[in-house]
Each structure stands twice: as C-alpha cells, then as structure tokens.
Amino acid sequence: MGYLLLFGAIAAEVAATTAMKYSDGLTRLWPSLLTALGYVVSFALLARTLKSLSIGTAYAIWSGVGTATIAVLGLMLFGEGLNTTKVAGIVLIVGGVVVLNMGGAH
C-alpha cells in the first residue's frame, strides 16, 4: 500500500508543478488553485507513505521520479531543449534513486 500512496504523491506533485508553469507566476486563478491543491494532496499522501516506508527511500523516490518526470514533461509540453547534460542529469537522478533503494533493501 505504501508504494501505491507514494505513486499518488508523485502524480499529485507532478500535476501541481505542471500547473504552476501554467499559472503564469501564480497570477492565473485556476492553475494557481490546482498548484496549491496538488501540493497539499502530494504532501498528505507522502506523509501517509511514511507510515510504511522509510523516509530515505520514500523521499528519494518521490523527489527523484518527480524531478525526472517534470524534466520529460518540460521537453514534451513546453519545448525545453534536450542536451547531453540534461540526459546525464536525468540518468544520475534515476540511478541515485535505484542505488538508495538497493541500500535500503537490506
């Protein structure tokens, strides 16, 4: 159940961050409200996740997967460029999450 809650927390955080981009500096009402709601839901689900998963594992997955997903959405939705440095950064983020999870499995 912990990983399902964590997936929901990641999805809410990604939706909130994406809405923030559309909010035009929090000056547009509906995207701004979606941003606030998304972060509240994300933190609530992350807090529930911490009842069953270790904080290091949960936070590494939440932040790493969220960051990598937002980077990909930046490419797809907002036309952000892709270069070797960005690819390396995403690979390092995902690799770091994997390594932390391997270390926490014992």
Number of domains in the chain: 1
Torsion, Cα 18 56 86 10, to 10 degrees, reads -20
Q: pLDDT tens digits for 48-67?
A: 999 999 998 899 899 999 99
pLDDT bucket at 106, cuts 50 / 70 / 90: very low
Among 1-5, 8-12, 14-18, 54-58, the least confident range: 54-58
Q: Which residue has the higher pLDDT, 93 or 41?
A: 41
Q: What is the pLDDT of residue 94?
A: 87
pTM, entire model: 0.89
N-to-C CA span, the chain: 20
Domain residues for the domain of 37 are 2-104
